[in-house]
Structure 1
């Protein structure tokens, strides 16, 4: 069971964090992680400006990226691979649409 747990969870300072779905294609993961990083950066910038609306919008982007990566939402290991891929592709499409304006 420890091997399965180590594939599903990353433990840092005693806290468990869900790992990225390993079945997702590398280029899809890279695109989602790029959005995730930019979203996290935007959260920090909005907090420094005390802009609550921008914080909320940036957190929404972070959440979308994390759902796409399988790090939030349904446990990826309980879902068919095709559903997981569709969720990731949908999240990336929605994030790209947010960038487009």
Structure 2
């Protein structure tokens, strides 16, 4: 696995930072459609930056945000147990700290 996923499946970790996973309750067809839309929106961001079109870039960033919210990666959390959203927090500063320390020691070179 390229990036470790927290035991509860809510986040993956990149360079020590937690990033919210997509909602696992999405059916495969919907998830696939949303991922396709996300990639299209990200390409639009790239193209707008290359052409220095700030209006198009803003619209493309908005499209990325809307799709990420639909995926459950941003906006309201997709779990219902009342746990806080720790998206973008450093793993070592969260309740996942001991888990993160353990996996860091078990991976070659740490994480």
TM-score (norm 2): 0.65
Partner of 2:92: none
RMSD of aligned residue pairs (Cα, Å): 1.3
Q: 1:45 aligns with which of 47, 50, 66?
A: 47
Distance in 2, matches of 1:48 and 1:78, equals 41
Runs of 5+ unmatched residues, structure 1 = 80-101
Larger helix proportion of the pair? 1
Deviations 1:24-50 (A, max 9, x none): 100000000000000001101100111
Figure out how many residues of one structure are paired with residues of the other and give that number.
76
Q: Does 1:3 align with 2:7?
A: yes
Moved over 3 A (4+): none
What SS does the aligned partner of 1:24 have?
coil
TM-score (norm 1): 0.72
What SS does the aligned partner of 2:7 have?
helix
Distance in 2, matches of 1:75 and 1:41, equals 26
Alpha-carbon offset, residue 3 of structure 1: 1.7
Structure with max Cα Rg:
2
Partner of 2:78: 76
What SS does the aligned partner of 2:19 have?
strand
Map residues 1-101 of structure 1 onto 2, 5 A cutoff: 3-4=7-8, 7-78=9-80
